[in-house]
A and B are shown apart, each in its own frame.
Chain A
Amino acid sequence: MILLPCPWCGPRDADEFGYAGEIRPRPDPSTTTPAEWRGYLYLRRNTAGWTRERWFHRMGCRRYLVLERDTTNNDVRPSTDASSGSGS
């Protein structure tokens, strides 16, 4: 079980978090096309390497976090709160 760094709670077992997935920008709903919108809904880069993803600290501070993680070895870098501006 990997340890995730929560900016509020410190290193915590990944069991405590919900995985909210790769961060992807939400298209403007008033101008989006079906192709673009469905890419946002269903397509993921699934990178082998460093990814930016969102985790929800469900059993801790209940904040959504932005975390960089290397999917090949689960190395992680310090995370930030999703509302701090780097989240989208």
Chain B
Amino acid sequence: MSMRLGPRVGEVIDRDEPLSFTWNGRTYPGYAGDTIASALAACGVRVFSRSFKYHRPRGLLTASHLDPGCMVQVDDEPNVRGAHRRVRPGMDVRSQDTWPTLSFDVKAANELARRMLPAGFYYKTFMSPGWLWPAYERVLERFAHGGVVGPGKVSALDGNERYDKRHAHPDVLVAGGGPAGMAAAVTAARSGCSVMLVEEELELGGHLRWGDDVDLTALSELRGRVAATPGIEVLTDAVVLGRYDGNEISVLQRGLPHVAERLVKARARTLVAAPGLIERPYVFAGNDVPGVMLSTAVRRLVNLHAVKPGDRAVVLTANADGDATALDLERAGVEVTRVDARRGGDVTRALGRGRVRAVELGDGRRVECDLLVTATGWTSAVSLLTMAGDQPRYDDTAARFRPDASRLPSDVMATGGVVGDGSCAQLVAHGEATGREAARRSAQSSVTASAAPPPLPVEPHPALFRGRTHGMVDFSEDVSSKDLFTAVEEGFRCPELAKRYTTATMGPAQGKLESVNVVAIIAEATGAAIAETGTTTWRPPYAPVSLGALAGRLREPTRLSPLASWHHSHGAAPLVAGAWIRPDHYGDPVAEAASVRDGVGIIDVTPIGKIDLRGPDVSRLLNLVYVNKWSKLEVGRVRYGVMCGEDGVVIDDGVTGRLAEDRYLMSTTSSGAVTVWEWLESWLQTERPQWRVHATPVTTSYASINVAGPRSRDLLARVVDDVDVAPEAFPYMHVRTGRLAGVPGCVVWRIGFTGELSFELHVPAGYGLHVWERLLEAGRDLGVRPFGVEAQRILRLEKGHLIVGQDTDATTKAYGAALDGLVKLDKDDFVGRPELSWGGQPGDGQRLVGLRMSPDSLVPAEGSQLLDHRGLICGRVTSSRLSPALGRAVCLAQVEAALAEPGRQVTVRLVDGGTARAAVTEQLAQVDPEGVRLRA
């Protein structure tokens, strides 16, 4: 049954572009420019969804993005506003949550069980006994709103399902593209401002779009002015979500090519809120039966989409818009019965179930009809203004809350219907004056004198909220006026409480349609005035926003060493280590470790943090930030150091070498590279600004390669140009600078994280691959091979070298990490000195120890708990590996200080639920504890 009308003057459909789509599997026709809802309504579809609690059939109420009755699933996208989204050819549209079908709904039987779902049923019916909660949850989730997120049919956005973010800095942001908003944007732009004009609907114009010939003329004139004015960026199908500190305005943009949604963070000098008015539903019995609509819904359907919403209508009107709607309907061939609320007319009940069959009027008459239209008043869309500090006041004359402009900060203004009533010309004049003043406040204008906009008139309107019967207040959440009365009887007399108790205003519409009715009905139930009952609080976001839009694109960079392509082409298994991707191994980590113990291996250690320190006061800085002593470090020497926070907790470690009198190179852990640099800067900038030190991060300026193993000296000797690597010329813990494989400016320090003789080469990054390949070539007869992070972890664990952050945690102080020997309390000051001077007693936290397992080849998982003889947790395994050199497990563990003596037995709780015994070892190092190999 087609309900499509002949051409209308202001229609937005394109009759030359017919299309088809499916609704619940059946094919329907439509035109380009139709919304999903208008195309279906044109085909006679009246029921779009089932209500939340009672699963009552629901049709169109507002025929706008706010419509609570037509959330649908489109392809794989749930919760699409069917009265807002334009229909596309081939779109697969389905009703949501209507198992088993939309027309036959088992859960409608719920209505019989209304007693089971009283006000506050969340807090009553499903509360006890608590152990039944899992069962309750399964029942409740069947009631939940929402469609299905993938993996259904993939939408037309296939492959472009991305979300985007953008920053913008308009001088003036105008929220709302009705007549006042358009006028404000044009005037501000003509005054020299950059303007962003944001409109939630698909085109500019506001209520003018569905108005009469005069409105349509004004509309095309205003649209022409916007288009002709440079400096206005128009965002349609975009909604302002919130206003934050510093006039940061978040805008969600939809309907874009290539991205699903884009979040715009606009920092506006002045915000002009022109959100207009929202038509308010009327509360009476049957007000949610399909066929009961607001007057604006009817005018949208008739005038924008050429859809006849019914054949026989009753129009309850209390204002000019209701009168105009009756005329529109008559022109569309609908038989209209007018009920004038200004003369005492009222509607007490809509009869019918799947659709309106008849209406009972206040005077007792019964009128057969299939459409009931209400035009009973407006709600000011004040939410954006309240986010800026406005506290709206109830205006008895207009029967609505109106903003209190005096409470707004100077960078927020309001114009249009939210401020007052008036003709189109009056709204435009107010918008122009507001735009001029916004430009002045943005200081981008030649206009200097402040000119307050002329006030808009406020027209009297009857106060109509609830009729003589009870009906639906919150259509999204299925909360009736009866539920609110019940809540008030039970003591929830304040809107903020009654709202939470009944969940009124907490559904997808978020109060935009229903919150004033909630307040009015609570006022009625408590016998108070609306003005003293107050409102609920508006918080961002104004409209629902997808998590994808909030997340945006992944902007976390991945860091790669200059050798990354070599690792990739040589079979390296990638290891994600913080921001870095490193080679975990090249196929056989055990063999890689063995080659380091027996011959020579090379590892890419580029992620190690490197900070270049220069200036006459570097040694003072080192003395301050490390717990050990640095004043006597000679040029050419390297020293291991540990950093603690002011609370004594170990925060980083590494070696620092003195390259020249006033030049040092500090290394940090890979993960600490940035934080240590910022931390050094904080000491230099805040506590010791008189010190002359330059700290420059050079982590990625160098490719760092560790050459390790008993043959490492032989290998290095073949690639150095001007560095003497003989044992007596280049001893352990020394640093040299020079040319390697023809590359000048290299730094070499002789240190040994792996426990073997080793040299760490820091090569200017661009030559990293050259030196790496030269080492492999030169060492072929020595059996050199690359090794990865896993082999390095095995080797360092055999040697008992700790890793800060793995073998320590956020409570491990220096003595807890077995680093007591390094702490030099005879220094006057260093970071954390007082705390370290008071601690370190037995019973004071945990200590780092080595563990010997029994049986000794058992490798407990890292993180396994340690138990004392009473079975109480006394520590944990921090690192564990099977040692290829020893053929048994090597472990480090944190254990209570009292149990940290060599030989003490603990129980290890294994992942599989079993236990094993372990003994504390003599020292942390299990291989070469004397350090002979290092010093070879």
Does A associate with B in a complex?
A: yes
Given contacts A3-B267, A37-B835, A58-B678, contact A83 B244 (CB under 8 A): no
Say yes or no for A72: interface residue by CB 8 A criterion: no
Judging by beta carbons under 8 Å apart, are A83 and B689 in contact? yes
Q: Are A74 and B245 in contact (CB-based, < 8 A)? A: yes
A30 to chain B, nearest CB (A): 6
Contact between A30 and B828 (Cβ–Cβ < 8 Å)?
Answer: yes
Q: How far is the CA of A82 from the CA of B682 in the complex (A)?
A: 9
Bound together, the chains give a CA A12 to CA B442 distance in angstroms of: 17
User: Could you tell me if A83 and B678 are in contact, using CB atoms closer than 8 angstroms?
Assistant: no
A30 with B686, Cβ < 8 A, contacts A56-B678, A62-B681 known: no
Indicate with 1 or 0, residue by residue over B834-849, a CB within 8 angstroms of chain A CB atoms: 1100100000000000
Shortest C-beta distance, A86 to chain B (Å), equals 11
Return the contact of B248 from the options A1, A41, A83 (Cβ within 8 A): A1
Interface membership of A8, Cβ < 8 A: no
- Provide the residues of chain B in CB contact with A7, threshold 8 Å: none
A58 CB to nearest chain B CB (Å): 7
| Closest Cβ neighbor of A34 among chain B residues | B838
B646–A1 touching, CB < 8 Å? no
Contact B834 A32 (CB under 8 A): yes
Contact B685 A64 (CB under 8 A): yes
Contacts of B647 in A (CB 8 A): 41
- Does A88 lie within 8 Å of B685, measured CB to CB? no
Say yes or no: A88 contacts B686, CB within 8 Å. yes
Q: Assuming the A-B contacts A1-B246, A29-B833, A40-B646, are A56 and B682 also in contact, with contact meaning beta carbons closer than 8 angstroms in the complex?
A: yes
| Residue on A nearest B686 in the bound complex, by CB | A82
Tell me the B638-694 residues at the A interface (CB within 8 Å): 646-647, 678, 681-682, 684-687, 689
A83 to B687, CA, bound (A): 8
With beta carbons under 8 angstroms apart, the residue of A18, A26, A41, A87 that contacts B678 is A18
Q: What is the CB-to-nearest-CB distance from B357 to chain A, in angstroms, rounded to a whole number? A: 54
Give the CA-CA distance A62 to B248 in the complex, in Å: 24
Q: How far is the CB of B892 from chain A (nearest CB, A)?
A: 28
Q: Which residue of A lies closest to B248 (CB)?
A: A1
Query: Would you call B829 and A29 a contact (CB within 8 A)?
Result: yes
Q: Are A82 and B685 in contact (CB under 8 A)?
A: yes
The answer on a CB contact under 8 Å between B834 and A37 is yes
Q: Tell me, in angstroms, the Cα distance from A88 to B690 when the chains sit together.
A: 13
Near B by CB (< 8 A), chain A positions 33-69 give 34, 37, 40-41, 54, 56, 58, 62-64
| Contact string against B for A residues 2-39, beta-carbon threshold 8 Å, 1 for contact and 0 otherwise | 11000000000100001010000011011010100100
CA distance A58 to B835 in the complex (A): 29
Q: How far is the CA of A58 from the CA of B834 in the complex (A)?
A: 29
Asked whether, in the complex, the Cβ of A2 is within 8 Å of the Cβ of B245, the reply is yes
A70–B685 Cα distance when bound, in Å, is 24
Whether A1 contacts B838 by the Cβ 8 Å rule is no
Q: Which residues of A have CB within 8 Å of B678? A: 18, 56, 58, 62
Q: Which residue of A lies closest to B832 (CB)?
A: A29
Nearest neighbor of B245 in chain A, beta-carbon distance:
A2
A41 touches B246 (CB 8 A): no
Residues of B within 8 A of A26 (CB): 646, 687
Q: Which residue of B lies closest to A23 (CB)?
A: B686
B267, B646, B647, B834 pick with most chain A CB within 10 angstroms: B834
B687 neighbours in A (Cβ, 8 Å): 26, 88
Contact B646 A83 (CB under 8 A): no
A63 touching B246 in the complex, CB below 8 Å, given contacts A13-B267, A37-B834, A58-B678: no
Residues of A within 8 A of B689 (CB): 82-85, 87
Q: Are A64 and B686 in contact (CB under 8 A)?
A: yes
B556 to chain A: closest CB distance in Å? 14
B residues in contact with A74, CB < 8 Å: 245-246
Please encode chain B, from 229 to 264, with 1 for each CB lying within 8 Å of some chain A CB and 0 for all others: 000000000000000111010000000000000000
**Interchain CA distance A20-B686 in the complex, whole Å:** 11
For B684, give the chain A residue with the smallest CB separation.
A83
5 nearest CB pairs, A to B: A83-B689, A3-B246, A2-B245, A64-B685, A82-B686
Chain A to chain B contacts (Cβ below 8 Å), 19 pairs: A1-B244, A1-B246, A3-B245, A3-B246, A20-B682, A27-B834, A29-B829, A29-B834, A32-B834, A37-B834, A41-B646, A41-B647, A41-B835, A56-B678, A62-B678, A64-B685, A74-B246, A84-B689, A87-B686
A binding-site residues for B, Cβ under 8 Å: 1-3, 13, 18, 20, 26-27, 29-30, 32, 34, 37, 40-41, 54, 56, 58, 62-64, 74, 81-85, 87-88
Q: A1-B244, A1-B245, A41-B835 are in contact. List 4 more A-B contacts (CB 8 A).
A: A2-B246, A56-B678, A64-B682, A83-B684
